[in-house]
Amino acid sequence: MDKTSENRPLRVIISGGGTGGHIFPALSIADSLRERNPQTEILFVGADGRMEMEKVPAAGYRITGLPVAGLQRSLSPSNLLLPFKILKSISMAGKIIRDFKPDIAVGVGGYASAPMLWSAQRRGIPTLIQEQNGYAGLTNRILGKKADRICVAYPGMEKFFPKERIVMTGNPIRKGIVPATDETRAEALKYYGLDPQKKHLFIVGGSLGSGTLNLSVRKWIEKGCPEGENLEVLWQCGRYYRPGVDAFMEEIRKRPDAPACIAGIRHFDFIQRMDLAYAAADVVISRSGASSISELCAAGKAVIFVPSPNVAEDHQRHNAMALVNRNAAMIVMDDKAPDELMDKASALLEDTDRIREMEKNILTLAIRDAADRIVAEIYGITDRNGK
């Protein structure tokens, strides 16, 4: 294969989303495709009303939405409409393929991936699945039977997919996520207005996945921030929860007995400069979505995971335990977090040796060029299929 062939422009559909954990890796793949050839045409396909319909255009890419949605766990009238939404989404996906004529369709997880990849496979379009988690969901297991390649981030995935089509690539991450230097740490502390003489805790949950983390912080504050005299906190509370957190913090500050540590707590609905938030942190508290884990590995941070219980096949617990078993992270289960999480974080912040050991171990799990590896697989697939 000559150099021109290796870097020829492609037409690529990238489908999926729903959370930042799906969207940011998808954008990283798109950026890597564009870096390889700026003439490559990329079309994102997401789910109407979901986060990707805002984030993808903001990153400079085209997106079209499908009406597909997920099954609600509670008894909801919207569940009655689900079969019709799925059928309509499959029909729309077929039209998108006919109009766009992709060389390949890439699925990153989320509601839109299923109808898009299924439609592509029916029409003989090559497909690639980017499976982020250590425990594959049912939809990807079904799609994986006909996918040309399944790019994974954890060993042992042959129990879910055909072994000969699995390739270890890692999960793509946002640019700039690297271990902190003295210079970047100083920049981060200045950016967030933090005191270099204090210790720093970064608490990060997704837009809807922050509920338990927020409750844990609020209970800690209401108890007077025990062990928090020398601590400052960056707290991403999520857009959905921001109004309630705003009201809570305002009420606490008005109290005559407000804890002194309240001055060192900074809360945000969304952190734009994640690279600097990681650089500032001595310890991170996080959900254990695959994308978050990949970023924490690349940043080399000591982390306490609180797996979300509201995910398919309990995959966040599986993700977290893969690191806990390597002494690269700690774990607190969701139902224990409101009473235990902040105490464990405070204790870890005082244990410098444990922090250093966890930082060293988690760094060994980092794969920094995952997006480039996936793009290499995309080119390999399209070459073999004569696209």
* Secondary structure of 130-157 in HEC code, one letter for each residue: EECCCCCCHHHHHHCCCCCEEEECCCCH
pLDDT attached to residue 387: 59
Total tally of structural domains belonging to the chain: 2
358-367 per-position pLDDT tens digit: 999 999 999 9
Are 221 and 120 members of one domain?
A: no
**CATH classification of the domain holding 192:** 3.40.50.2000
Are 354 and 374 members of one domain?
A: no
Alpha-carbon distances of 320 from 109, 118, 293, rounded to whole Å: 19, 30, 8
Strand partners, 198: none
Are 69 and 141 members of one domain?
A: yes
Q: Does residue 126 form part of some domain?
A: yes
Average pLDDT over residues 76-85: 60
Q: Does residue 250 form part of some domain?
A: yes
Q: Does residue 8 form part of some domain?
A: yes
Mean of pLDDT over the chain: 90
Are 167 and 228 members of one domain?
A: no
Are 249 and 298 members of one domain?
A: yes
More confident residue, 250 or 111: 250
Are 220 and 351 members of one domain?
A: yes
Range from 3-17, 85-99, 135-149 carrying the lowest mean pLDDT: 3-17
pLDDT attached to residue 73: 46
pLDDT attached to residue 81: 57
pLDDT > 80? residue 302? yes
pLDDT attached to residue 155: 86
Are 111 and 217 members of one domain?
A: no
Range from 77-81, 209-213, 280-284, 369-373 carrying the lowest mean pLDDT: 77-81
47-68 per-position pLDDT tens digit: 898 889 999 999 999 999 998 7
pLDDT tier at 109 (50, 70, 90 boundaries)? Answer: confident
Q: Does residue 83 form part of some domain?
A: yes
Distance CA 179, CA 194 (A): 19
The domain of 289 spans 182-363
Are 345 and 209 members of one domain?
A: yes
pLDDT attached to residue 82: 59
pLDDT > 80? residue 348? yes
Share of the chain above pLDDT 90, in %: 73
361, burial (CB in 10 Å: exposed 0-12, middle 13-18, buried 19+): middle
86-106 per-position pLDDT tens digit: 889 999 999 999 999 999 999
Are 80 and 145 members of one domain?
A: yes
154-197 per-position pLDDT tens digit: 888 999 999 999 999 999 988 889 999 999 999 999 999 999 99
Alpha-carbon distances of 93 from 40, 85, 129, 242, rounded to whole Å: 20, 12, 17, 35
Q: Does residue 177 form part of some domain?
A: no
Are 248 and 164 members of one domain?
A: no
Average pLDDT over residues 108-112: 85
Q: Does residue 285 form part of some domain?
A: yes
Helices (H), 131-266: 138-143, 182-192, 211-222, 242-254
Q: Does residue 261 form part of some domain?
A: yes
Are 193 and 167 members of one domain?
A: no
pLDDT attached to residue 14: 97
Range from 36-45, 48-57, 84-93, 268-277 carrying the lowest mean pLDDT: 84-93
pLDDT > 60? residue 76? no
Are 208 and 276 members of one domain?
A: yes
**Residue 192: closest CA among 120, 279, 111:** 279
Q: Does residue 375 form part of some domain?
A: yes
Helix pair angle (315-324, 290-299), 10° resolution: 20
